[in-house]
Chain A
Amino acid sequence: MKAFTTLDGLVVPVDRSNVDTDAIIPKQFLKSIRRTGFGPNLFDAWRYLDEGQPEQDNSRRSLNPDFVLNQPRYQGAQVLLARENFGCGSSREHAPWALDDYGIRALVAPSFADIFYNNCFKNGVLPIVLPADVVDGLFRDVAANPGYRLHIDLSAQTVTTPSGASHGFSVDEFRKYCLLNGLDEIGLTLRHSDEIRAYEARRARSEPWIFGGAA
């Protein structure tokens, strides 16, 4: 996994609550058996005027000029500012894959849906929860200041605005450790294989029906 330490990134605001993963990456792109290449189809239905199809040349499609991602001032954004319950709905990891592939490295919102939040960490994308009034203020500041950037420091657990205001955020120690070091969680878990085997042996005695397939 990619490590995340600090980021100084341009901010793009997506001002809607309950943005679901169907909106982040529509279903037709889920037919892919790869992990990459989803960036051009991030927010596909909002971003383009036509209906996108997999393996299409996206550079030839008409962009929706009203959608925030298409506005010149937000090109190259690495931080996505969002509203509550971002990433709700389907568990598709294609959502963080699409965000990552597009170039988004961090998200800031008052809340995230559980599965999406989890999926982000597995892909080196940092979801940051800040209080709703702080996020509200950030939406106002972004709108008022072209080129608005945020400085994010995972180690210090802070988001700092251009004016120097600093907002702390919380993150689980273990997740932070994995993300800072870009660690492979499977590799880490396999170090505890003996414990897993011992656990399995206990369960096989107490609940033998768990093991083995159909009768």
Chain B
Amino acid sequence: MNSLSLYEKLWQAHVVREEPDGTALIYIDRHLVHEVTSPQAFEGLRIAGRPLWRRDSILATADHNTPTTNQTVIADPVSRLQVSTLDQNCKDYRITEFPMGDRRQGIVHVIGPEQGATLPGMTVVCGDSHTSTHGAFAALAMGIGTSEVEHVLATQTLLARKSKTMQVLVEGTLSLGVTAKDVALAIIGHIGTAGGTGHAIEFAGSAIRGLSMEGRMTLCNMAIEAGARAGMVAVDDTTLRYLEGRPFAPHGAQWDAAVAYWRTLHSDEGAHFDRVVTLDASRIEPLVTWGTSPEMVTTVNGRVPDPAAEPDPTRREGMQRALRYMALQPGMPITDIAIDKVFIGSCTNSRIEDLRAAAAVVRGRKVAANVKLALVVPGSGLVKAAAEAEGLDKIFVEAGFEWRNPGCSMCLGMNDDRLSPGERCASTSNRNFEGRQGAGSRTHLVSPQMAAAAAVTGHFSDVRAFLN
């Protein structure tokens, strides 16, 4: 029999029909919806007079605009209208929504898995590039544009072409203080932000099997930062343990039938990949980005690179521009970079395990005097409640952090959580683009532990010194 990769299995299981040129109609099992990329899609549906194809495939929540302080009212009228438009659309089409104030509300990529709405073998889409997160469950999950959101609402399908496949093998054991975030940044540093373009990435190898579901979600979340629309990990016991008993997951006899099928969701021995990349887990160190693209990354004990050493002129110019924007000097030790703010949150790193890891570093310490604001924004209301039940909120608050309500928050600053021009942030989010966290903002991407270490020392610090 033919050896198939996980991606090929998922793809084949969802092809409804295929055009002669290879364009396929792919069936969509789960559609996650948020307020920013859906209003124009619902409007399009209405204008064309088309019904919704399958409302039980949809789970909606407001996350990008929601305030993290007072969650009863949004002050900005433009944001408020966007959120109320989602509420209205969900009401009109009888779609399940966790609106602002619901304890299950949160970042769409946190609540999907948390609810068991993301299941192995599914196709999962959302008008959001970080939909790749859900691939951690051996789902084919990808971000789509608003026209495609409308296409899925109206037809439950997408027009797509089969991607090329890439296997990223991470073998060995991660050292203490090295997390899935560092693995993700190491991969992006290695293959570049366009390295995965046109590919679906499967993360495999002993280090990946050793990751929790939270860690696998962090990794798949960042697949898009490597240019890959989809990232995925095969099903194993860790996957099943995470899913069992979740509200949207199957129960009883259906659970058993599901598990039997899900166990087949891995790449077969000898499956073909268009590209294979191998990393040695034991050599990955805690990482910090220094520039305005996630591929501009180095180890915490490294130095800001010198553009003069870059032979390619376009890249050299890109580095120079990044250093100017970031106000950094070539050769400067990363640990000399002082920070103004700290953000622990986002769909990359706002799950319970992330908060535990950060709290372990923060416990008994204080936020450094030069740090103006240190924020912890849990990924969902349920994560927040779980963290509070463990007393994590107290650890953060006693150290001088602010403990907020769930949402995207300072990951992109569509609400009031933003950096001021020139401010520098140690952030657990996924993008360090110019202006991402506010006009003129300077973002350094790190793991939750590394963000915590930076918060208490006021500059980037090797978290391993805190853990020994």
Binding site for B on A (CB under 8 A): 15-18, 20, 22-23, 26-28, 30-35, 45, 51, 54-55, 83-85, 88-93, 96, 111, 113-115, 118-119, 122-123, 172-175, 185-186, 189-190, 192-193, 195-196, 199-200, 203, 206-215
Contact = CB atoms under 8 A, between A and B. Distances in A.
24 contacts: A16-B318, A16-B321, A31-B65, A31-B78, A33-B81, A33-B82, A51-B421, A51-B439, A54-B78, A85-B227, A88-B193, A114-B228, A114-B229, A173-B20, A173-B23, A174-B19, A185-B147, A185-B151, A186-B154, A196-B16, A196-B156, A209-B257, A211-B56, A215-B248
Contacts of A30: 36, 64, 414
B199 to A, nearest CB: 9
Given A20-B433, A22-B431, A31-B79, A119 B414 contact: no
A21 B64 CA distance: 16
Given A209-B258, A211-B56, A122 B147 contact: yes
A93 B151 CA distance: 14
A115 B143 contact: yes
Nearest to A184: B48
Nearest to B194: A85
Contact of A114 (B122, B154, B155, B197): B197
A212 B56 CA distance: 6
Interface in B292-325: 293, 314-315, 317-318, 321
A192 to B, nearest CB: 6
Interface stretch (B37-45, B175-183, B349-357, B376-384): B37-45
B422 interface: no
Give the 10 A-B CB pairs with smallest separation, nearest first.
A209-B250, A122-B147, A173-B21, A33-B39, A119-B145, A93-B145, A85-B194, A174-B23, A91-B129, A91-B143
A131 B322 CA distance: 26
B14 to A, nearest CB: 9
A113 B151 CA distance: 21
B428 interface: no
Given A31-B76, A118-B144, 16 more contacts: A30-B64, A31-B78, A32-B78, A35-B40, A35-B146, A89-B433, A91-B144, A93-B145, A172-B22, A189-B151, A195-B25, A196-B53, A196-B157, A209-B254, A214-B96, A214-B117
A203 B254 contact: no
Contacts of A92: 36-37, 145
B435 interface: yes
B40 A34 contact: yes
B436 interface: yes
A87 to B, nearest CB: 11
Given A85-B194, A172-B161, A207 B27 contact: no
Contact of B129 (A83, A89, A189): A89
A174 to B, nearest CB: 4
A93 B96 contact: no
Contacts of B112: none
A193 B27 CA distance: 12
Contacts, number: 201
Nearest to A88: B193
Nearest to A26: B435
Contacts of B249: 209
B251 interface: yes
A172 B159 CA distance: 12
A59 B437 CA distance: 26
B119 interface: yes
B-side interface size class: 35 or more
Contacts of A22: 412, 431, 433-436
A189 B151 CA distance: 9
B50 interface: yes
B128 interface: yes
A18 B314 CA distance: 11
Contact of A91 (B23, B117, B128, B159): B128
Contacts of A55: 78
B194 A209 contact: no
A91 B225 CA distance: 12
B150 interface: yes
A113 B85 CA distance: 30
A190 B433 CA distance: 39
Interface in B422-457: 431, 433-436, 439-440
Interface in B50-98: 50, 53-54, 56, 64-65, 76, 78-79, 81-82, 85, 96
A38 to B, nearest CB: 11
Nearest to A119: B145
A215 B119 contact: no
A195 B19 CA distance: 13
A30 B150 CA distance: 17
Contacts of A212: 56
A185 B19 CA distance: 13
A196 B25 contact: yes
B156 A122 contact: no
Contacts of B236: none
Contacts of A122: 145, 147-148
A186 B52 CA distance: 12
Contacts of A213: 56, 96, 248
B258 A18 contact: no
B198 interface: yes
B151 A186 contact: yes
Nearest to B318: A17
B412 A27 contact: yes
B232 to A, nearest CB: 15
A115 B96 contact: no
Interface string B120-134: 011000011101000
A72 to B, nearest CB: 24
Contacts of A196: 16, 25, 27, 53, 155-157
B17 interface: yes
B159 A185 contact: yes
A23 B435 CA distance: 8
A27 B247 CA distance: 33
